[in-house]
Structures are given as C-alpha cells and as structure tokens.
C-alpha cells in the first residue's frame, strides 16, 4: 500500500464512504473505511440511510477527493446514477466515484457509463480498492 | 439489578476442583486422572513431540473464530470439571444442554423454513405456495426495506428499494394477497420485522380473522428485536425507550390473545453476519435477551407469563464443532440466567428455542456452486446443535436474490440431512465428545464473561449506546478480512483455488416496474377505504401513544380500516421521534 499522499500539495486523499439507500449492511463499508484509513487516507463515513442529495452535499462540504458507495439492497441502478446526476448538476467533475456491494455483473457496464469509475463486488480485497483509488484519484486540491 | 455471574462461576469452579479428586471406575480398568495427565505429558513429549519435530504441523497455533485455541487432542482431562447431571442432564430437562424437547428429532423433525419474499405480494404468495408444495413446513416472510423501516412504497426514501430485498407491504390489502389460499391455522409463519413488528403482526391477525381463523390458533414469530437493529442490522425507526415499550406491549398482548405466537426472536444472526465471532454472537444475543426480560419485568409483567414465548435466532457458520458447541452453550447459559437471575419457575421459561440460518457472509460470489457444500456443513452444525427450525441459504446469495432452482437445492439439503444422514435419529449425538464438551464449556464461560462486562456498563442498551458492542463486532470483522487478505485464512475459490469463470447466469431480477405497480395499488387502497374511519383510528393511536395504554389494540383497529403501514408509523414517529445513531465517523 502506498502512502496515499497527494503529490501536488502533500494533502492526504480524502474519502467519503457512503451508504445510500435503506439497507443496514455496513460491514463492508466499515471494513473498507478502516482499510483506507490504514492506508493513510482521511475517511469520513456517512452512516446508514443517506439520500443521494445528502451524499453529494457531504462530499462537497467535506471537500473529498473520492466517494466510495456501498449498496447491498439492489437499489444501485437507481441510486448510484442519481448521485452522479447530482454531482454533474453541481458542476463537480473531479471527484472519483466508486461503488461496491452485491451488484450483478450485467449491471456494471451501465453504472460505469454514468460515471462510476469502478464497481467492487464480493471477494475484492481491500488492497485492490486502495490501489485503485491511489492510481485513479483525479484531484489534488 | 446486577446479577453476579462471577459468584456462580466460583462455585462452579469449586465443584470442578472437588471432582478432580474423583477416580473413574470402569469395570476392571481403573483410570486415575493423574495417571492420565502423566500419560498425556508422556505422549506429548514422545510420540507426538517427536513427529512434530520432524514434520511440523500445518500451523503454529490452531484457533476457532472466537480465538479459543484448539488442542491437538482432547481427553477426559478436558471434561473432568463437567458434572453430567448438573451440566448436561437429559433432553427436555434443565439445563437443556442436550436439547429442549424430550424426543427432539425422533419425535418431529425441525421446521424447514426458507426465508423468502420479493417484489409484490402476488409473486411472493406464488413462491410460498411453491415452497409448501415442495415439502417446506413453515413460512418465513422477507419484507422489503421500506416496509421494514415503516415507509409506504410511494415515500421518497423508498426510491429504488420497493420489492428488492423482500415483499412490499403497504396495507392490509397486500397482506391479504400475500397469504391468499394459505390457511393460517395450518402453517406457522415467521416474519422478519422489527421496528414496525406490532403493525405487521396486527395485519396478520386481521388476515386470519378474514379467513375465519381466531388469534389463539395462530402460530408464528415476529422478530421484534430492536436492540440488534441498533447494534448490527440498521432497520430501526424509533428511539430505544418507545421501541422497548412496543416490544413489551406485544409480549403482553400476545400472552393474552395470541398465546402460541413467538413474540420476539432475539437474534444473533445479524450480529454474526456483521462480523462477530461465535462467542460474541452468543454473548451479545443473550445480553439483548436479558434486557428484554428486564424491560418486561419492569413493565409489570410476570416472567413466567411472557418468557415461554421468547425465541432466539442464530447463525450457523463453517466451523462445525465451534457452532455445535455454541448452540449447546446457548441453551445451558440461558437456562441458568432465567432460573438464577430472573427466578423463572416454569420450565418453559428456561428453554432456549431457536431458529438457525446458515451464514450468508460465508458464501462466495466465486464458484457459487461451492456454496452448496458450505451450506450443507452449516446446516449439519445447526441440526447437531439441536435447532428448532432452519433456513438454508441458496448458492447464489452472494450475487442476487436466490432463483427458484437454487432455493430448491437449499431445501433438498435439509431434507437429505433429515432423511438420509441418520444424524436426526438420536438426540445430541456429539455429547460426550471430549472436544465438544470442553468447547461448550469454554464458549459458555467466554460469553458469560462478556455478559458480565455488559452488565457493568448497565446492560445491553447502554453498551450499544456507548458503541461497545458495535466496536467489538467491527474489530472482529476487520480481523477476519485481514486474515483473508494475508492468506492466513483460506476461503476456497477466493484467495486459493481460484479459476477463471464465466459470469453466472439465471440470477433473479426484480422488475423495476414493481415500484410503479405497488404505488398504484396503494393509491387504489387509499381511494376505496373509509377515510374518516382511518383518520379516527390514527387519532386514537396517537392519543394512546401519548399515554400509557398497550398500543397493539389501537394498531389493530387502524390496520382493519386499511390505514397504511406508513401512516401508522408516521403517527408513532410524531409522538416518539426517530432514532439518530451517534456512530458516524
């Protein structure tokens, strides 16, 4: 794992780990949050039941570089794109957005199409997620 | 009231010490324990030690999920502290270590109960009738998340969630369809519903009335366990205090009106799935159970009035012996708590009856057919552990809701264990295994130790409030994940023995049109009911919530008028407020 320091300013990568929708399965979100923190990132976890509006507002307010969303209820096809739409509405295009959870392979292309950088499904190691974020984070504010 | 579990264990330790000096006389062979100790030491330093020196074992240390070290071999020395009559007893007798029923599966097999429900009431009804035709013996209803959190399908927070993880129920009209042509006096129905449990129970009673079935003939369970929602599962609505009131209200209402109903299913399952070890699952579940019993006693109920209808729900994971020991320890520990701590007099109050579900979090998205084998092992553990009912997960649950074919394999797995394996033919067949008995005692003691710590914090609600239970679970979940990533823990097909594979086919998909359909049905119900009567019933409920009456009769009145789940819960939200977790970081 790298040191997760932004090369431009030396600022740590800031990540919002978010649970959109109503499902309470946040074991994965919490494990990922801790792994990102152990990899040297600053992590904010939203807690459960966040609306897309709340997630986007938190991301802007906390000035994060990355939004990592987790859904296990099957609502991803509705809620992930909604987050992307809201980000675009707010003129935000430099936040890296990734998703995870129980997400069927066949749903992934459309989610990527709408701007989710990658989707991590069950069995993904946290080090893969860390590496992906380090290599793909867009901004160093 | 603080119960000194320590004291209990001091006297237990004294008994064990006394028994140390016992000499076992078995026919012509006289085996002295100190001889055995000497012989074991000799074996360790010679036969075993020499081999280990030449061929080291696979690991330096073997451990179960709970961190209890597993010895190379177990002998009578490991069970010498156990008094057969006092610690094990006979099936159907205190402390129920060997099972809660006198004949166990020789009399009647466990209830095969597959958790199911998706999309609309019509589709779920079809799945239930299919399962009953396939030989399933009880129903288990999965509700979608808006239903579990008390929102109607047209609520903005229901967006994308309607019919996804279970069936959408907005009003009695949906419930009537859900149980269409299913005689409620013939089946037992378990409903995974917590915060609005009283509302769904009221709907069930109302459907039964329409079928001509009186409440005393109803059999089933509502989960109704709010503490584990705060700690691990997340579908809470109200703050703890009014939530506990709703729970004790259902205890009271059912003991008078629905006597065969299990009024709560105190659940370790979700605690385990969130990452807890076997010991933590047991400890936190029984700590929650203690809180419910105390709350009901504090509300003025007699322990022997409601305790016989308490039930439990545990997970079965892969470590077969640890799981069996956990189930046996659970019965013994609960029996002692009920008798010694709460002074229960009725035998039924001391019996820990439980449902088991195989461990969803142990299933892999990789090589999903391997999950059939995992489920079979876990189901075997549940049966060897004496479960009263069982849900076996389907192979595709790490990918989607299960397909009909996968559900059938899962049900067949139970039937093969029941009818072909022979394990159901004698009671508690692993009793007397040096390993299983030693492990049962170790797990019981470790769980009792946790319970003592939770008592010192002021009980489970306080331990949850302080985040203790959540952080213990999170710590275990993280450790487990790191063990997988370091290769210390092998998960077949995930970090070892992997293959390139095609994406799985035939996964169940819920039609997104379900949400629109459900909203239309909801609008129809609202248009056709007596609006004035609905309003009146909700006003009465509001007034009752502000006072101290039992709320169940008011909820039942509102349900009968086709007040929706969302309207009823909103009425209660208006009085009780909503729970806001402090845990986000």
* Tokens 């109903």, residue located: B261
Look at residue A4 in the predicted model and tell me its pLDDT: 53
| Minimum-distance CB partner of B161 among A21, A82, A104 | A21
Is beta strand B29-31 parallel, antiparallel or unpaired with respect to B24-26?
antiparallel
Look at residue B21 in the predicted model and tell me its pLDDT: 41
CB B433 within 8 A of CB B407: no
Contact A23 B400 (CB under 8 A): no
Q: Tokens representing B185?
A: 């006096």
Contact B585 A31 (CB under 8 A): no
Look at residue A139 in the predicted model and tell me its pLDDT: 67
Would you give the distance in Å from CA B173 to the centre of its chain? 29
Predicted confidence pLDDT, tens digits, chain B (585 residues): 344 444 444 445 555 544 544 434 444 444 577 899 999 999 999 999 999 999 999 999 999 999 999 999 999 999 999 999 999 999 999 999 999 999 999 999 999 998 888 889 999 999 999 989 988 888 999 999 999 999 999 999 999 999 999 999 999 999 999 999 999 999 999 999 999 999 999 999 999 999 999 999 999 999 999 999 999 999 999 999 999 999 999 999 999 999 999 999 999 999 999 999 999 999 999 999 999 999 999 999 999 999 999 999 999 999 999 999 999 999 999 999 999 999 999 999 999 999 999 999 999 999 999 999 999 999 999 999 999 999 999 999 888 888 889 999 999 999 999 999 999 999 999 999 999 999 999 999 999 999 999 999 999 999 999 999 999 999 999 999 999 999 999 999 999 999 999 888 888 888 889 999 999 999 999 999 999 999 999 999 999 999 999 999 999 999 999 999 999 999 999 999 999 887 544
Chain B residues within 8 A of A123 when measuring between CB atoms:
364-366, 494
Mutation to test the A interface, candidates B118, B161, B401, most A Cβ within 10 Å: B161
Q: CA of B233 to nearest chain A CA: how many angstroms apart?
A: 5
Q: Is B154 exposed, middle or buried (0-12, 13-18, 19+ CB in 10 A)?
A: buried
CB B144 within 8 A of CB B163: yes
DSSP bridge partners of A99 = A69, A119
The backbone torsions φ and ψ at residue A57, rounded to the nearest 5 degrees and listed phi first, read -60, -45
CB B226 within 8 A of CB B578: no
CB B248 within 8 A of CB B550: no
Q: Tokens representing B398?
A: 């790490």
| Minimum-distance CB partner of B159 among A43, A76, A78 | A78
Closest CA to B451 of B15, B4, B16, B88: B4
Task: Give the C-alpha separation, A21 to A76, whole Å.
Answer: 8
| Minimum-distance CB partner of B485 among A23, A26, A127 | A127
Closest CA to B278 of B330, B323, B311: B323
Look at residue B400 in the predicted model and tell me its pLDDT: 85
Contact B164 A73 (CB under 8 A): yes
Provide the chain B residues 142-181 that lie in CB contact (below 8 A) with chain A.
Answer: 145-146, 148-149, 156-161, 164-165
Contact B512 A77 (CB under 8 A): yes
CB B189 within 8 A of CB B114: no
CB B272 within 8 A of CB B232: no
Look at residue B287 in the predicted model and tell me its pLDDT: 98
Sheet hosting strand B139-142, strand order edge to edge: B115-116, B139-142, B188-192, B219-222, B261-262
Contact B165 A23 (CB under 8 A): yes
Contact A75 B149 (CB under 8 A): no
CB B563 within 8 A of CB B557: no
Q: CA of B360 to nearest chain A CA: how many angstroms apart?
A: 12
Provide the chain B residues 248-287 that lie in CB contact (below 8 A) with chain A.
Answer: 273-275
* Tokens 């790298």, residue located: A2
Contact B581 A26 (CB under 8 A): no
Domain ranges within chain B, ordered by starting residue:
84-476
Is beta strand A96-101 parallel, antiparallel or unpaired with respect to B389-391?
unpaired
Look at residue A115 in the predicted model and tell me its pLDDT: 96
Sign of CA dihedral A129, A132, A134, A139: negative
Contact A102 B398 (CB under 8 A): yes
Closest CA to B552 of B237, B245, B194, B264: B245
Chain B residues within 8 A of A33 when measuring between CB atoms:
585
| Minimum-distance CB partner of A75 among B161, B232, B478 | B161
Contacts with B412 (C-beta within 8 Å, 6 or more apart), sequence order: none
CB B88 within 8 A of CB B97: yes
Task: Give the C-alpha separation, B42 to B49, whole Å.
Answer: 9
Contact B398 A48 (CB under 8 A): no
Chain A residues within 8 A of B159 when measuring between CB atoms:
75, 78-79, 82
Q: Is B34 exposed, middle or buried (0-12, 13-18, 19+ CB in 10 A)?
A: exposed
Mutation to test the B interface, candidates A1, A17, A30, most B Cβ within 10 Å: A30
| Minimum-distance CB partner of A30 among B160, B477, B510 | B477
Task: Give the C-alpha separation, B75 to B172, whole Å.
Answer: 59
CATH of domain B84-476: 3.20.20.240
Which residue from A minimizes the CA distance to B584?
A47
Peptide bond into B95 cis (omega under 30): yes
Task: Give the C-alpha separation, B40 to B35, whole Å.
Answer: 9
Is beta strand A118-120 parallel, antiparallel or unpaired with respect to A96-101?
parallel
First to last CA, chain B: 34
- Give one DSSP letter per residue of B453-504, joined into a string: HHHHHTSHHHHHHTTHHHHHHHHHHHHHHHHHHHTSS--BTTTBS----PPP
Peptide bond into B49 cis (omega under 30): no
Chain B residues within 8 A of A106 when measuring between CB atoms:
503
DSSP bridge partners of B221 = B190, B262
Q: What is the largest CA-CA distance in chain B?
A: 86
Chain B residues within 8 A of A122 when measuring between CB atoms:
364-365, 398-399
Helix ranges (H only) for B299-362 are 303-306, 320-336, 347-350
Q: CA of A26 to nearest chain B CA: how many angstroms apart?
A: 8
Prediction ipTM score: 0.91
Contact A22 B273 (CB under 8 A): no
Q: CA of A123 to nearest chain B CA: how many angstroms apart?
A: 6
Closest CA to B232 of B184, B274, B261: B274
| Minimum-distance CB partner of A22 among B157, B364, B477 | B157
Please count the CA atoms within 13 angstroms of the CA of A19 that sit on its side-chain side: 21
Q: Which element (helix H / strand E) includes B4?
A: none
- B24 has a chain A CB within 8 A of its CB: no
CB A91 within 8 A of CB A99: no
Helix ranges (H only) for B1-48 are 5-20, 33-43
* Tokens 């308490």, residue located: B310
CB B414 within 8 A of CB B391: no
Is beta strand B115-116 parallel, antiparallel or unpaired with respect to B139-142?
parallel
Considering the segment(s) A14-124 as one domain, its CATH architecture is 3-Layer(aba) Sandwich (3.40)
Domain ranges within chain A, ordered by starting residue:
14-124
| Cβ neighbour number for residue B326 with a 10 Å cutoff | 31
Q: What is the DSSP letter of A46?
A: -
Q: What is the DSSP letter of B104?
A: G
Provide the chain B residues 423-442 that lie in CB contact (below 8 A) with chain A.
Answer: none
CB B264 within 8 A of CB B285: no
Report the SS3 class of residue A19: coil
CB B105 within 8 A of CB B91: no
Please count the CA atoms within 13 angstroms of the CA of A68 that sit on its side-chain side: 33
Which residue from A minimizes the CA distance to B495?
A123
DSSP bridge partners of B316 = B358
Q: CA of A113 to nearest chain B CA: how many angstroms apart?
A: 19
Q: Angle at which helices B278-298 and B468-486 pack, to 10 degrees? A: 170
Predicted confidence pLDDT, tens digits, chain A (141 residues): 445 554 455 789 999 999 999 999 999 999 999 999 999 999 999 999 999 999 999 999 999 999 999 999 999 999 999 999 999 999 999 999 999 999 999 999 999 999 999 999 999 999 999 999 999 998 654
Q: Tokens representing B396?
A: 């595709």
Tell me the count of A-B CB pairs closer than 8 A: 106
Chain B residues within 8 A of A127 when measuring between CB atoms:
485
Look at residue B7 in the predicted model and tell me its pLDDT: 44
């Amino acid at each position: 794992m790298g040191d997760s320091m932004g090369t431009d300013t030396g600022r740590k990568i800031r990540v919002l780990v978010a649970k959109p929708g109503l499902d309470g399965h946040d074991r994965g979100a919490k494990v990922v949050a801790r792994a990102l923190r152990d990899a040297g990132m600053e992590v904010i976890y939203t807690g459960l039941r966040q609306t897309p509006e709340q997630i986007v507002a938190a991301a802007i307010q906390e000035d994060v570089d990355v939004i990592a969303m987790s859904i296990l209820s099957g609502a991803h096809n509705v809620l992930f794109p909604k987050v992307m739409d809201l980000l675009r509405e707010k003129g935000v295009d430099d936040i890296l957005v990734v998703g995870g959870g129980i997400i069927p392979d066949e749903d992934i292309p459309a989610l990527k199409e709408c701007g989710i950088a990658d989707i991590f499904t069950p069995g993904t190691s946290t080090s893969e997620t860390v590496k992906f974020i380090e290599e793909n984070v867009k901004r160093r504010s | 009231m603080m119960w000194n579990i320590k004291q209990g264990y001091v006297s237990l330790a004294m008994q064990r010490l006394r028994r140390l000096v016992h000499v076992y006389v078995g026919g012509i062979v006289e085996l002295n324990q100190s001889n055995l100790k000497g012989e074991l030491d000799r074996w360790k330093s010679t036969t075993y030690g020499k081999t280990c020196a030449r061929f080291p074992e696979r690991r330096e240390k073997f451990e179960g999920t709970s961190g209890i070290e597993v010895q190379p071999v177990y002998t009578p020395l490991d069970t010498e502290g156990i008094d057969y009559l006092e610690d094990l007893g006979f099936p159907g007798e205190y402390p129920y270590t060997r099972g809660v029923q006198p004949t166990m599966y020789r009399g009647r097999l466990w209830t095969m109960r597959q958790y199911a429900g998706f999309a609309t009431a019509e589709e779920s009804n079809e799945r239930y009738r299919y399962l009953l035709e396939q030989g399933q013996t009880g129903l288990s209803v999965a509700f979608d998340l808006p239903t579990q959190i008390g929102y109607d399908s047209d609520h903005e927070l229901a967006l994308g969630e309607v019919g996804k993880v279970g069936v959408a129920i907005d009003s009695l009209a949906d419930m009537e369809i859900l149980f269409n042509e299913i005689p409620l006096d013939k089946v037992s129905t378990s409903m995974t519903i917590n915060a609005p449990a009283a509302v769904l129970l009221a709907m069930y009673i109302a459907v039964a009335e329409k079928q001509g079935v009186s409440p005393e003939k109803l059999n089933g369970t509502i989960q109704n366990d709010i503490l584990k929602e705060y700690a691990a599962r997340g579908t809470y609505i109200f703050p703890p205090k009014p939530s506990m009131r709703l729970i004790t209200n259902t205890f009271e209402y059912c003991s008078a009106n629905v006597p065969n109903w299990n009024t709560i299913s105190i659940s370790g399952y979700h605690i385990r799935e969130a990452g807890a070890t076997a010991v933590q699952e047991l400890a936190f579940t029984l700590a929650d159970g203690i809180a419910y019993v105390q709350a009901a006693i504090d509300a003025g109920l007699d322990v022997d009035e409601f305790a016989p209808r308490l039930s439990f729900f545990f997970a079965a994971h892969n470590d077969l012996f640890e799981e069996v020991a956990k189930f046996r320890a659970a019965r013994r520990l609960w029996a002692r708590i009920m008798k010694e701590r709460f002074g229960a007099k009725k035998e039924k109050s001391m019996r820990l009856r439980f449902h088991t579900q195989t461990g969803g979090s142990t299933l892999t998205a990789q090589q999903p057919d391997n999950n059939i084998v995992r489920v079979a092992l876990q189901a075997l553990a549940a049966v060897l552990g004496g479960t009263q009912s069982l849900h076996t997960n389907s192979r595709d649950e790490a990918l989607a809701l299960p397909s009909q074919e996968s559900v059938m394999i899962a049900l067949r797995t139970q039937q093969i264990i029941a009818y072909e394996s022979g394990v159901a033919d004698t009671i508690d067949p692993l009793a007397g295994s040096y390993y299983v008995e030693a492990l049962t005692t170790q797990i019981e003691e470790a769980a009792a130790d946790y319970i003592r710590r939770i008592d010192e914090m002021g009980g489970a609600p306080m331990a949850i409030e302080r985040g203790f239970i959540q952080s213990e679970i999170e710590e275990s979940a993280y450790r487990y994940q790191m063990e997988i990533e370091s290769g210390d823990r092998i998960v077949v097909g995930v970090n070892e023995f992997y293959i390139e594979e095609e994406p799985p086919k035939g996964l169940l998909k819920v039609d997104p049109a379900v949400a629109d359909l459900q909203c239309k049905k909801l609008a129809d119900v609202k248009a056709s009911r007596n609006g004035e009567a609905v309003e009146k019933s909700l006003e009465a409920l509001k007034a009752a919530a502000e006072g101290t009456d039992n709320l169940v009769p008011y909820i039942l009145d509102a349900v009968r008028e086709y007040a929706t789940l969302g309207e009823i819960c909103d009425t209660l939200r208006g009085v009780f407020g909503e729970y806001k977790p402090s845990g986000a970081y």
